[in-house]
């Protein structure tokens, strides 16, 4: 009769304890090496937030990206996560997390922040430089807006017939009582595509002064009709923080594209958030406005009843 030897449970327990101890020691050593390595790399977390968090907001005007948080540093990467939601005319559907990661070699990855999507992306992509007045186009858009309830909220792009200097834009704001704020952003460059160049495409440069704030709910004071002056000053200040070697390709932006837009300082259109259709329709009477591209409309359910 064959006897089965009973396991030495004490030996098994000692072996398991040793494995756990070695695993814990390796984890602690790995964590310590990770922290020390990033110290020696002279990593600047604040600059990552200021540079790449703002670049993500510029390249993704289809999202309301509010604030973010750092996820700490690991041996292969460090990351910063932005919170936001799609920019739609209707009620909020809740925030989503968008990660920006940087590896040891300075390469940036932001797979969900590489540019706008959906109908607002189409509206932004429709804006071009110096297209001039098109009365037939203006009338088609006017007819569309007039056929809809004027109290609808809208997300839209107001395209100018010609690029606007800051002086002309301030005068435009005063004529129409357009007040600077979180619901008005300035397009300093239209998007670009040319498959014979490198890079082949670049995102539009869409700027709102709140983009440099890590928490846009912090109560930033806007300057109403004269806000374009403050917005351009802040945009130029931020661009001045850039280095030519900064990796902005994850956002389909680059140093020359941004510095050129800052130097030129003209506006090709406005991205407006949750404006009433009636307000947008009035802008079509101004010869400075080529057209209005509607991206989304919705009833303001909070204002009903």
Contact 108, 141 (CB under 8 A): no
The model's pLDDT over 196-239, given as tens digits with 9 standing for 90+, comes to: 888 889 999 999 998 887 655 556 788 899 999 999 999 999 99
Is residue 159's pLDDT more than 70? Answer: yes
Q: What percent of the chain has pLDDT over 70?
A: 82
Separation CA 124–CA 121 (nearest Å): 5
Distance CA 31, CA 164 (A): 53
Q: Given this model, what pLDDT does residue 197 score?
A: 83
Q: What is the pLDDT of residues 40-69, one digit of tens each?
A: 444 557 777 889 999 999 999 999 998 888
What's the whole-number mean pLDDT along residues 264-281?
Answer: 97
What is the 8-class DSSP label of residue 157? Answer: E
pLDDT of residue 21: 67
pLDDT band at 302 (very low <50, low <70, confident <90, very high): low
Average pLDDT, the chain: 86
pLDDT at 92 over 50: yes
Q: What is the pLDDT of residues 96-123, one digit of tens each?
A: 999 999 887 778 999 999 999 999 999 9
Distance CA 184, CA 261 (A): 18
Average pLDDT over residues 24-45: 49
């Amino acid at each position: 009769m064959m006897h089965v030897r009973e396991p030495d449970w004490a030996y098994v327990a000692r072996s398991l304890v040793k494995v756990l101890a070695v695993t814990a020691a390796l984890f602690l050593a790995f964590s310590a090496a990770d922290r020390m390595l990033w110290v020696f790399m002279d990593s600047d977390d604040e600059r990552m937030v200021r540079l790449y968090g703002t670049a993500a907001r510029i390249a993704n005007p289809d999202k309301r990206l509010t604030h973010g948080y750092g996820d700490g540093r690991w041996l292969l990467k460090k990351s910063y996560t932005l919170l936001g939601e799609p920019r739609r005319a209707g009620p909020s559907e809740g925030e989503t997390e968008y990660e920006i990661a940087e590896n040891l070699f300075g390469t940036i990855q932001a797979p969900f922040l590489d540019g706008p999507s959906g109908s607002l992306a189409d509206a932004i992509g429709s804006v071009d430089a110096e297209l001039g007045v098109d009365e037939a186009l203006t009338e088609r858009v006017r007819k569309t807006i007039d056929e809809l309830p004027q109290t609808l909220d809208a997300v839209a792009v107001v395209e100018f017939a010609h690029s606007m200097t800051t002086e002309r834009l301030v005068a435009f704001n005063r004529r129409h009582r357009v007040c600077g704020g979180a619901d008005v952003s300035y397009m300093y460059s239209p998007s670009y595509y040319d498959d014979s160049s490198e890079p082949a495409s670049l995102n539009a440069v869409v700027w709102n002064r709140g983009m440099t704030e890590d928490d846009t709910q912090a109560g930033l004071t806007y300057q109403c009709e004269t806000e374009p002056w403050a917005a351009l000053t802040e945009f130029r200040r931020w661009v001045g923080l850039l280095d030519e070697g900064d990796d902005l390709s994850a956002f389909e932006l680059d140093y020359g594209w941004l510095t050129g837009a800052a130097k030129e300082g003209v506006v090709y259109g406005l991205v407006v958030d949750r404006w009433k259709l009636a307000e947008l329709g009035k802008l079509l009477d101004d010869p400075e406005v080529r057209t209005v591209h509607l991206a989304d409309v919705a009833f303001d359910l909070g204002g009903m009843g």
